[in-house]
Chains A and B, each alone.
Chain A
Amino acid sequence: MSKTGLIISREYFTRVRKKSFLLTTILVPIVIVAFYAAIIMITIKGGTDETKLAIIDEAGLFTDSLLSQQKTIKASVIKNETEASFTPKYKDQGYQAFLYVPATNFDSTKNLVVHSASSLSLTNSFAIEKLVNKAIENKRLINRGIDPEVFKSISANVKIENTIDSKDGSKKGSAGIAYAVSFLCGILIYMMMIIYGTQVMRGVMEEKTNRIAEVIVSSVKPFQLMLGKIIGIGAVGLTQFAIWIILMGILTSVIPLLVPGLAEQVGAAAAAGSTAGKDMNMLATITTGISSLPIAKILFLFMFYFLAGYLTYASLFAAIGSVVSDDQQEAQQLVFPVLMPIIVGFVIMTQSINNPHSSLAVFGSLFPLTSPIVMMGRITYDIPMWQLIVSMLLLVGSFLFFTWITGKIYRTGILMYGKKPSWKEMLKWAFMKN
């Protein structure tokens, strides 16, 4: 094995074998999926836990057919009681709440009173409001001589679907999903660059303060040591990605098996058109939305920009690690100018998702210090080929340039102790011969 290979494998295995790596790598997707599953479970279970509502209907608003349409609350009309006589009794009869509808003609709007043992939940109060309004609407329709069934048949309920016409034919799309995928890719690259960049810096600082650097550079070239560290840590990042993708796949396919009947419940809820059903419709939108995206292209671009972006920044982080000594504060001062473009890139990315062809978005996705993040904001849209090629070339070029420059700073810095060098000195090192 070459010496650089040896260094890469040391950097890789010491990190991958750490308990903290295993923990974060395995826990993060489990937490995300568990959270996702919990939300679905809660929305479904919420529908089966019915609230019992009594209605004293002096106006004769409610019909049985109307009441049976309501799923989240179980409402029944009580006869031969008044508001005053029923108030002390409804709890004993097993009702959580009762609605009093006085005898009026409801031509003008008037608020109604619901009595309840404890304050009504938001869902329940919406459901009761919806029920009452529906009943009053029906009453008014009848009063004006319109059959409610006729009204229902003529009211419109149209949703907009997006069809994307790309070279490979037309597909159903979803603006929301495109947005989410862009944002997710951008934020992942942003986080990975900062997390793994800082790891490179820490690793270099550790070698410098431990003075192991001096021992190692008597066996290998400083550049080999720096490159080995950067590649080794980058490989750790890729491993983490791979494990996440695999785990997510396993978990999402295993969860429906673990919770039997989930699919049926989802189907029933969707058919009934309740709130849970809407979530399920959303799931369907997500799947069609995702399938409408050019997955292969997105994956390729994501990997490319992650790797090239990481490599570009990692060499900068390595150079910083090599010039500071033990002092965390010194490191922070120097890290700031490196973090700036990453943060700016993130801001431009959020803008460019909404406005993928604006001049700011185009600039941000070409400028090599921001392009890895900003390009993710445009990833789901059609990016002109020339922009992609220029952006990639610029990024690779700047990676080579930065590695060359920082390699020299690193070589000098790693053996220097004491005072932190000034920017001027570092520039001098960077452009020194040999």
Chain B
Amino acid sequence: MDLLELKNLKKYFATQKAVDDISLSIKEGSIFGMLGPNGAGKTTLLRMITGIFYPDSGSILFNGKTFDPQNDFRNIGYMPEERGLYKKMKIGEQAVYLARLKGLSNTEATAKVKEWFIKFEMQSWWNKKVEDLSKGMSQKLQFVTTVLHEPKLIILDEPFSGLDPVNANLIKDEIFNLAKNGSTIIFSTHRMEQVEEICDHIVLINKGTKILDGSVHNVKQEFKENLYQLGATTLPEHMMTYIFEVVKHERDKVLLKLQDDATPNDVLKHFLNQGIAIHSFNEVLPSLNDIFIKLVNGTANARQFQPLP
């Protein structure tokens, strides 16, 4: 079942079509990657999903019903890209305050904060102030305040920036955990290797429009370029054939691009016939990074301001 469904969302600002007719749907319990270059309109889209902005047109269905920010606040946890916490407020009080703003009672909020602080080994922080924390520490705190009220939908904008590998793993595990327990997670980032690792489904947004939508597996299949890597003890200097062309040739391995009508078996046969001892052969799928660059490249790096009609 789809937890969130966006239909033809539009949001125009004075100088830009920030979000121009985007539709997508997100399955309950999935980890959904929202990718796009800087200024693509991701933040605007996320702000509409969190109810901070009203769309100019289009509709949002949350849990099968029309999205109503006033009631659905409770079910959404939003961690914006630019972290925000009160610097001078005590950490424990702050976490409780933010949870209560989401609608938890005082005792409920306090219990939850304590539970999470123990989980993340932050018990000693309670009476400290945010200004005493390092960037990574406040990141952890921000994550805790985002997921504390057990929202159905968790929106994380660049959750790993500034975290060391240990803490990044801690949060990554927690994201998997939350998804396993039924939360739906929207994950917005530029870091493609994290997306490949974490996300089930991705969309790519550029210049306010959706240019790619699919599961990580399907997207990779769609963009594969018939590349195979073959490893062998010795390789001939020249490998001229109509079956493939050599993309990269190293001492004991070679990257091959198959012609359209050739199959991997043809390649293997070709090498076996030459009596070459093969020790590895595998398909090389494009990384999301490559796909991202391929799709976004050719469009101007920085988004130009466009006057509206």
Interface residues of A (CB under 8 A from B): 1, 3, 6-7, 10, 14, 206-207, 210-221, 415, 425, 434
Contact = CB atoms under 8 A, between A and B. Distances in A.
A213 B85 CA distance: 9
Contacts of B76: 218
A14 B88 contact: yes
B14 A215 contact: no
Contact of B82 (A6, A7, A214, A219): A214
B37 interface: no
Interface stretch (B50-58, B160-168, B188-196, B281-289): B50-58
B98 interface: yes
B52 A212 contact: no
B47 interface: yes
B87 interface: yes
8 contacts: A212-B84, A214-B80, A215-B80, A215-B84, A217-B52, A220-B101, A415-B47, A415-B53
B86 interface: yes
B235 to A, nearest CB: 55
Contacts of A213: 84
A10 B98 contact: no
Nearest to A220: B101
B217 interface: no
Nearest to B51: A218
B78 to A, nearest CB: 4
B118 interface: no
B84 A210 contact: yes
B89 interface: yes
Interface in B72-107: 73, 76, 78-80, 82-89, 97-98, 100-102
Given A218-B73, A219-B101, 13 more contacts: A6-B97, A7-B101, A206-B86, A213-B84, A214-B52, A214-B78, A214-B84, A215-B80, A216-B101, A218-B50, A218-B51, A425-B14, A434-B54
Contacts of A219: 73, 98, 101-102
B98 A215 contact: yes
Contacts of A207: 84, 86
B86 A212 contact: yes
A308 to B, nearest CB: 28
A210 B87 contact: yes
6 tightest A-B CB contacts, nearest first:
A211-B84, A212-B84, A211-B82, A219-B101, A218-B78, A218-B50
Contacts of A214: 52, 78, 80, 82, 84
Contacts of B85: 210, 212, 215
A7 B102 CA distance: 12
A218 B76 CA distance: 8
Contacts of A10: 97
B256 to A, nearest CB: 49
A218 B89 CA distance: 20
Contacts of A3: 101
Interface string B12-32: 001000000000000000000
B47 to A, nearest CB: 7
Nearest to B85: A212
A3 B103 CA distance: 8
Contacts of B53: 415
Nearest to B105: A1
Contacts of B101: 3, 6-7, 216, 219-220
A217 B54 CA distance: 13
Nearest to B52: A217
Contacts of A425: 14
Contact of A218 (B52, B54, B70, B82): B52
B100 A211 contact: no
A207 B89 CA distance: 12
A212 B82 CA distance: 9
B133 to A, nearest CB: 13
- Among B14, B47, B70, B101: residue with most chain A CB under 10 A: B101
A221 B89 CA distance: 22
A14 B87 CA distance: 12
Contacts of B82: 211, 214
Contacts of A218: 50-52, 73, 76, 78, 80
Contacts of A434: 54
A221 B68 CA distance: 12
Contacts of B102: 219
A348 B82 CA distance: 46
B87 A215 contact: no
A6 B54 CA distance: 25
Contacts of A217: 52
A14 B100 contact: no
Nearest to A9: B97
A400 B255 CA distance: 72
Contacts of B87: 206, 210
A216 B100 CA distance: 11
A222 to B, nearest CB: 8
A32 B98 CA distance: 41
Given A6-B101, A219-B98, A425-B14, A210 B51 contact: no
B112 to A, nearest CB: 15
B84 A6 contact: no
Contacts of B52: 214, 217-218, 415
A3 B98 CA distance: 10
A215 B99 CA distance: 11
A206 B51 CA distance: 22
Nearest to B46: A218
B99 to A, nearest CB: 9
Contacts of A211: 80, 82-84
A327 to B, nearest CB: 17
- Among A215, A217, A425: residue with most chain B CB under 10 A: A215
B107 to A, nearest CB: 13
B158 to A, nearest CB: 13
A150 B88 CA distance: 78
A139 B82 CA distance: 92
A14 B79 CA distance: 24
A210 B88 CA distance: 11
A417 to B, nearest CB: 8
B89 A14 contact: yes
